[in-house]
Amino acid sequence: MRALIQRSKQASVTIDGEVTAAISHGLVVLLGVEAEDTAEDAEWLVGKIAQMRIFGDAEGKMNLSVKEVGGEVLVVSQFTLHASTKKGNRPSFIRAARPEVAVPLYEGFLSSLGKELPVKCGVFGADMQVALTNDGPVTIWMDSKAKE
């Protein structure tokens, strides 16, 4: 499972011209599910995201988590995080999980993260427009298989 995490001042998801989810200060998490992912991958990511200290403290040092600063999280499913660009010019998405595998893992991720933090989300499989003001900018890449 891969996540691209962005610290944001504000963010929203628009579908068919209507804003369907929006947060103020917090994190935007673009989440890609791979065919081999399990609930353990989701739980590992939830733990890391909920506790990641990437918000400034009184001295401006990245020392506080999204929970400690009263932030929210906007999660957007994004299978393209598993793009392979090794051959040719058109990405292959063969490693991305099919919906029958991805949807339960995505929903489990949302449920687990929602126990820790206020969470809003996009719509799985929808054509979405995501808007955000990246704060910093701070952008962190995580992969549950690499665990770095």
Nearest to 14 by CA among 91, 94, 128: 128
Report the SS3 class of residue 26. strand
Question: What is the C-alpha end-to-end distance of the chain, expressed in Å?
Answer: 13
In the three-class reduction of DSSP (H, G, I as helix; E, B as strand; rest coil), residue 50 is classed as helix
Determine contact, residues 117/50, Cβ cutoff 8 Å: yes
Q: Please, what is the Cα angle at 49 between 46 and 54, to 5 degrees? A: 170
Phi, psi of 145 (to 5 degrees): -80, -35
Indicate which residue of 14, 20, 38, 80 is catalytic: 80
Is 80 one of the annotated active-site residues of the chain? yes
Task: Tell me which amino acid residue 12 is.
Answer: S
Cα-flanking dihedrals φ and ψ of residue 59, to 5°?
A: -95, 5
Active-site positions read 80
